[in-house]
Amino acid sequence: MTKETVVNDHEHNENHLITERREKLAKIRESKPVAFPNHFRKDTDAKQLHQEMEGLDREALKEKSKIVKMAGRIVAKRLFGKGGFVSLRDQTGDIQIFVNTGLIGPEAFEEFKTWDIGDIIAVEGEVSRSDKGELTVRANQLILLTKSLRPLPDKFHGLTDVEARYRQRYLDLIMNESSRETFRKRNLILRTIRNFMDEWGFEEVETPMMHPIPGGANAQPFVTHHNALDMEFYLRIAPELYLKRLIVGGMERVYEVNRNFRNEGVSTRHNPEFTMMEWYWAYADYKDMMDMTEAMMREIALKVNGSTEVPYQGYTLDFGKPSLRMTVQESILKYCEEAKDYDLDTREGVAALADLYHIKYQESDCWGKILMEIFDEKVEENLMQPTFITGYPLAVSPLARKNDENPLITDRFEYFIGGREVGNGYSELNDAEDQHERFISQVADKESGDDEAMHYDKDFVTALEYGMPPTGGEGIGIDRLVMIFTDSASIRDVLLFPHMRMRD
């Protein structure tokens, strides 16, 4: 039997089941005044009930005589004679429901027998335990709230096809507890971050998502058109330049949890629409930002995993001790054995090392850009434990403050966990004339064919001319952070609705 035959048979069987369910719904519409009632209100959920009744045996529950109202989806159903069991699933978990004619009457039981797996029902009944000791609600009232017209995936195999899980996230959440847990943890991570920022005295703000000039990162933007103003706007690639305007305005500690859009590739690490958290702290520098990041990561690890040691893809990440800290050049020397034979302070030296590793670069590329090509190719994937890389070249850091001792590098770091960049921070450039010159350089790069180079933002330079205090800033990718703390291999696992190519 060919794969095509199996697919066709499956579609035929599914269509047959859908037809049967539509016929059942038609009968419900004929026999009841309301086919989809909305009068029932639940008073407990599965997790709450399991916790409340933990340790109580059948006799203790009988004495307690607790009546509950619950609602959820039928995910399993077993009938025998004049009785049966249903596994009811709500957002917190599963609970067993016992049904028989003695409790709800023969007419209601006959109706119950026609219900299907996937139907959403309401139940009222007394809490007990089955003969096998499983917590059970003995139904004295059952109501069909929503008729499911499509069958759920096979209960033994669930929704295991990865692409189907991403395309039909609603089915993934119904069938897979691990997926529901991932998104619960995502919410917990965001709450933990917000509480942490509140405790550190930061104010949460909102800045525009449509920009007349794209800025704040080296990235290619999405373009849209505003009809009333008859002008092009760019979907936000970063909130940085707006948040720093707020620092100029006297808001000394600000942060934003924001959606960004970058018109780039799609992979296990990249989604064109993603969540960032950026914050700016007046009278602080990049070293303060690194210390703050370490404290934040410890807090998240403890809140989400209950320990500062976090499992990730076969590794144990340790957020309880200080993160590794080294410069770009130090990291290349550590992970590239041949690098010790080359002068990493000169363009000739880094170009020769890149040639040795067959790393491509442009003839017009300066020392800093070639150095970063080597780092990206040979170092990044090795940075499994939490690591701060510092000493980034000026050429790839158009918004960061120059280092006082070495003007070829900036007071900037990137934060790596699990072999990928999670955060980017620096001592902010607050010299308006220096920023003007760097924007001019970026414009020249763009005119030379660099689509990701920045535009010149005149209003931002004007803001700096009014004076911005010394400031530290950082952005952390929330999606990648959730990957780490949920042990997820792909960014699509932590996005409810990842972007995918449309099917015909």
Known binding residues are 414, 421
Which residues contribute to the annotated binding site for Mg(2+)?
Answer: 414, 421
The string over 187-209, giving b where at least 16 C-beta atoms fall within 10 Å of a residue's C-beta and e elsewhere, is eebbebbeebbeeeebeebebee
Indicate the Cα dihedral angle 324, 327, 329, 330, nearest 10°. Answer: -40
Determine the Cα–Cα distance for residues 189 and 243; give it in Å rounded to an integer.
22
- DSSP result, 379-403: TGGG--S-EEEE--BGGG-TTBPBP
Q: Are 293 and 283 in contact (CB under 8 A)?
A: no
Own/partner pairs, 160-167, CB within 8 angstroms, 24+ separation: 163/500, 166/492, 166/498, 166/500, 167/500, 167/503
406, burial (CB in 10 Å: exposed 0-12, middle 13-18, buried 19+): exposed
Q: Are 413 and 422 in contact (CB under 8 A)?
A: no
Of 133, 137, 122, 134, nearest to 67 (Cα)?
A: 137
Q: At what angle do helices 478-485 and 286-305 cross, to 10 degrees?
A: 40
CA 111 to centroid of chain Cα atoms: 42
For residue 501, the 8-state DSSP code is P
CA 343 to centroid of chain Cα atoms: 41
Which H or E run contains 324? strand 324-327
CB atoms within 10 A of CB 139: 25
Residue 394 tokens read as: 């000026």
Of 298, 299, 294, 285, nearest to 323 (Cα)?
A: 294
Q: Are 114 and 28 in contact (CB under 8 A)?
A: no
Q: Of how many residues is the chain composed?
A: 504
